[in-house]
Structure 1
Amino acid sequence: MTDQTYNKNDEKTSLNHASIAAMMVPFPMQGHLNETLHLSNIIASYGIPVHFAGSTAHNRQAKLRLHGWDDEESTSKMHFHDLQLPPFTSIPAKFNPQTNFPGHLQPLFDATLDLRQPVFRLLQELSAKYRRIIIIHDTLMASVVQDVKLFPNAESYALHGVSAFTIFYHFWNSMTDTPFELDSDIKISGIPSSEGCFTPEFEAYIAKQYKVLDFESGRIFNTCREIEGRYMELLSKLPENAKKKFFALGPLHPVETKNRFNKIRHRCLEWLDEQEINSVIYVSFGTATSLTEEQISELAIGLERSEKKFLWVLRSADRVDISTEDDVIIRPQLPKGYEYRVKSKGMVVRDWAPQLDILAHPSVGGFMSHCGWNSCMESISMGVPIAAWPMHSDQPRNSILITEVLKIGLLIRDWEHRAEVVTSTTVENVVIRLMTSKEGEEMRKRAAELSVAVRGSVEDGGSSRLEVDSFVAHISR
């Protein structure tokens, strides 16, 4: 199977791009950093110089956690610019029954806004060296890169870190006068509201970014037409997008990971090697969610009672200071004796785990996920159905795309019950349904079929490969 390297020696990509360069400006949360770095690798593979601009700590984090690519051939192609964040106060994470959004990271987000001047200076430097500078920035960094308008040889593209489905319905439901009718097969009932998705402080942050987000030449999505073609079309039909170019360049991560062929493998992959095909449910809620002690206990008991094999990545949400030593971290606690009791059925991982390699492993037959968009795309591309447990942000709507539109997953709980503890009985029942029932098997079959289509999209002649080619040709014109 063709891997997603976008080889610059291909006939379609052998153009001379020395007169242009790309400047990448990520938002400092792991999912956003990861997505931006994946896209950076794709652009660099076309022979375009890539300048990745972030704080020293987050550049380091992005490189350390990147996987799926050949380590020596990927980040070495790029220029990393370590920008200095101003001092800011770290606040402890606190449980909020109204939202699981990581509000403890807000001081970091606010400090990031002060990168406007360093980014401006970097733009000045690069614009003097190249015929054209292409700024690709996270939508949540719009105010930081807004000075791109001052450079006649620069243009910008906003990278959306969420699904086209989620974005479309956000805009559609906020309209007082809808510009066109939706086809009956597109109308989805029960789409969650944004209530409880964010803290008020972060909602204000988002509003500030979108207030200035009117200077970009186009928008980039980590999706492909095979997954969200209808919603990409609907987005482009909205009046405010009439003059924008839309590019579906996903999946941005490699669909054929290279890390799994390395001699040094994570111990969880060796454990998976010993399990039967489709026998393990992988449990992980990303890097921006912490569960309460009560919820961890219920989840643990539910997994144990299901008697299905599981691989559980149990970590707290990333901290503001990601360089803090491990010995000061308050680690999530499991019921006493739990890991000993389940050692024949399950494995608990408390460090960073290679999610792409895990989802690609033939032993994994299900994924209990928060439904962050990166995780959704990775699971779809690897053909793994999802037990959807949204926590905050875009996740509630992503979960509806997974369960109601694509029909490759089960919903663990309705969003309106987000403040309630998910019981061990619920966990047990969902795991059994997903892993062993006829319903779960049908979802696994649909997930496998969708995986084939998504993988085909990045091969020669596939929709995403053609769209990446088109994007590179457009910025190189």
Structure 2
Amino acid sequence: MEINSENLANNELISEVVVVIVPLQAQGHLNQFLQFACLISSYGLSVYYVGLANYNHQAKVRANALKPSDIAKIHFHDLPSGRGEIPTFWDACTLLRDPIASFVRDISSKSRRVVVVHDPLMSYNVQVVSSLPNAESYMFNCVSAFSSYSMIGLFVRLSVQHEEFLKKLPSLEGIMTDEARNFSVSQIPHMNIRSGDIHNTSKVIEGKYLDLLAEVEIYQNKKQWAIGPILPTKLDHISNRNNICLEWLNKQPRNSVLYISFGTTTSFSDREIKELARGLEQSKQKFIWVLRDADRGDIFTGEARRVELPEGFEERVKEVGLVVREWAPQPEILAHSSTGGFLSHCGWNSCIESITMGVPIAAWPMDSDQPSNSFLVTEILKIGLIVREWEKHEELVRASTIENVVRTLMRSKEGDAIRQRAEELGEAVRRSTEKGGASRMELDSFIAHITR
């Protein structure tokens, strides 16, 4: 979605409306909420991004595809943690209710209206909204509509038609820990105060599943807006051209490079790394591999595990592959004309970026919403191939399997057909964010609603 301030930027009522952004304190959520914050700010609204100091800093340091000048317009409010050390991920989800309430009360005393946009898993922390006459809240969903619907379908009895549909899905057993499941369920009673829901997806991608989701009880009688993709769709202006990945891509043929990244929550064992390295080497396809261990707490403290590759691997593949161990500009890599495929864990950030840029996906889900996202990509949208079926998620993926999937995606007629579908869908999605497009109209509708 292109940042655009036309029409509404000069509306005097906007200066009286303040938006408070409350993300879950995890990278995949921090990123989407910052993109959303910049998009909303472009309409002339005052936007506050609220979180613990180290996570706010993390969001800024890892901001992808956003111009520094747009990030500079966001007011970052650092919350006190209430103790000397930074909480763990789950602690951060439960300890912020009082400082958030204090901040929202203060802002509400100075504004005509306060609009709190929060992660579903931060619902407990924003309950102060119900006690303030000039405040309202909206949930911003960082997962696909299909994934939301699928996971709700595991716990809510739906109509026969919908149950038949869900039977096509692989079992979602084991997608999250008991702790994560219990925490998610604990947030549901606190979701009722919201006035509506925002989705980082497009009707072009998930119109059917947005409609089905609207029929589910917890979404009924709530306003819905599908405004995605919220990331910038035109990246020529990004000053990242001296990045090693982009410099390397500039020297490669069109659609020749496979991009490999498994997000910020996945750690591979040494054995898994060895099989992946062998599979890539045997495929003889060009690649960029972002090789990093999962985030653990505060990314600015302590030493991250250095993932070791097989001896001599980087030397042997130096003519065809690039291994990167630092943060990479993923949207820019996916938007590059030399990138022809994405080997991904299928987190929604990665999926929506890949879909928007028209890049087909080799899907290798690891947990949470990733198995349902991979089903959406491979079985429904048909813009990808599965690397490992979710039912076999505890099995080691062999080099031969990786080699076969990579070759099929990058160098076969089947892969070419998948790529063409991905490119056509990407073009339609990008058009939806332009003036008159479905997503742009939804965004304009949301802005008009909160500035009424």
Q: Which category of TM-score, normalised to the shorter sequence, fits these structures?
A: over 0.9
TM-score (norm 1): 0.91
The aligned runs of 1:248-267 (5 Å cut-off) are 248-258=226-236, 260=238, 262=239, 265-267=242-244
Correspondent of 1:134 among 86, 100, 115: 115
> Which of the numbers 149, 171, 176 marks the counterpart of 1:168?
149
**Structure 1 position 395, deviation (Å):** 0.1
**Are 2:404 and 1:429 equivalent residues in the alignment?**
yes
User: Matched residues in 2 for 1:70 and 1:329: separation?
Assistant: 28
Please point out which of 323, 326, 331 is paired with 1:348.
323
Per the alignment, residue 206 of structure 2 pairs with 228
Partner amino acid, structure 2, of 1:278: N
Matches within 5 A, 1:99-248: 107-176=88-157, 178-179=158-159, 181-182=161-162, 187=165, 189-248=167-226
Matched, 1:387 2:362: yes
Structure 2 unaligned spans of 5+: none
Deviation (angstroms), 1:183: 11
Cα shift at 1:188: 5.5
Task: Say if 2:93 and 2:121, in contact at 8 Å, map to a contact too.
Answer: no
The within-5 A match list for 1:287-436 is: 287-325=264-302, 328-436=303-411
1:76 — aligned with what? 72
Q: Which residue of structure 1 lines up, in the alignment, with residue 2 of structure 2?
A: 4
Whole-angstrom CA distance in 1 between matches of 2:255 and 2:421? 14
Q: In 1, distance between residues paired with 2:359 and 2:54?
A: 33
Give the deviation of 1:168 after TM superposition.
1.1
AA partner of residue 228 (structure 1): E
Q: Secondary structure at the match of 2:154?
A: helix
Q: CA deviation at 1:259?
A: 5.4
User: Which secondary structure state, in structure 2, belongs to the residue aligned with residue 235 of structure 1?
Assistant: helix
Q: Which moved more, 1:422-431 or 1:109-118?
A: 109-118
Measured after TM superposition, the shift of residue 108 of structure 1 is: 2.6
2:372 counterpart SS class = helix
Q: Tell me the equivalent position of 2:38.
A: 41
Distance 1:146 1:246 in 2: 20
TM superposition score normalised by structure 2: 0.96
For 2:237 and 2:258, the matched residues in 1 are separated by: 21
Partner Cα distance (1:68, 1:156) in 2: 27
Shift of 1:411: 0.4
Alignment deviations for residues 378-420 of structure 1 (CA, whole Å, 9 cap, x no partner):
0000000000000011000000000000000000011011011
**Residues 321, 299 of structure 1: CA spacing in aligned structure 2 closer, same or farther, 3 A cutoff?**
same
Comparing 423-432 with 10-19, greater Cα deviation is found at 10-19
Q: How far apart are the structure 2 equivalents of 1:30 and 1:127?
A: 28
Paired letter, 2:349: N
Identity of aligned residues (%): 46
Q: 2:81 pairs with 85, 89, 104, which one?
A: 85
CA distance in 2, matches of 1:11, 1:110: 42
- How far 1:196 moved relative to its partner? 1.4
Q: Where does structure 1 lack aligned partners over 5 or more consecutive residues?
A: 91-105
Tell me which amino acid in the other structure corresponds to 1:46: Y
Q: Structure 2 vs 1, CA of residues 80 and 193 (structure 1 numbering), >3 Å: closer, same or farther?
A: same
Whole-angstrom CA distance in 2 between matches of 1:182 and 1:109? 33
Q: How far apart are residue 189 of structure 1 and its match?
A: 4.3
C-alpha change, 1:263 and 1:235, in structure 2 (3 Å) is closer
CA distance in 1, matches of 2:112, 2:46: 12
Cα distance in 1 for residues equivalent to 2:156 and 2:89: 32
1:89–1:42: structure 2 CA closer, same or farther, 3 Å change rule? Answer: closer
What is the CA–CA distance in structure 1 between the aligned matches of 2:92 and 2:200, rounded to whole Å? 27
SS in 1 for 2:15: coil
Aligned to 2:449: 474
The letter of the residue matching 1:242 is Q
Cα displacement (A) at 1:329:
2.2
Distance 1:140 1:258 in 2: 35
**Alignment partners' CA distance in 2, 1:440 and 1:394:** 25
Over 3 Å counting, the alpha-carbon distance change for 1:158 and 1:385 in structure 2 is same
Residue 21 of structure 1, CA deviation: 0.5
Distance 1:26 1:240 in 2: 20
- Backbone CA RMSD of aligned residues: 1.7
Offset at 1:299? Answer: 0.1
CA offset digits 1:33-77 (Å, max 9, x no partner): 0000000011100001001100100000101111212212x1111
Three-state SS of the structure 1 residue aligned to 2:306 is: coil
In the alignment, is the contact (CA less than 8 A) between 1:179 and 1:238 conserved in 2? no
| Deviating more after overlay: 107-116 vs 265-274 | 107-116
Of 51, 60, 64, the residue aligned with 2:61 is 64
Question: Structure 1 pair 336/263, CA: closer, same or farther in 2 (3 Å)?
Answer: closer
Question: Where does residue 259 of structure 2 map in the other structure?
Answer: 282
Residue 193 (structure 1) shift: 3.2
Aligned partners of 2:26 and 2:89 also within 8 Å: no
Listed one character per residue, the Cα deviations across residues 314-344 of structure 1 (whole Å, up to 9, x for unaligned) are: 000011122114xx22210000111001001
CA contact (8 A) 1:88 1:111 kept: no
CA 1:70–1:323 in 2, change beyond 3 Å: closer, same or farther?
same
Does the 8 A contact of 1:22 with 1:50 survive in 2?
Answer: yes
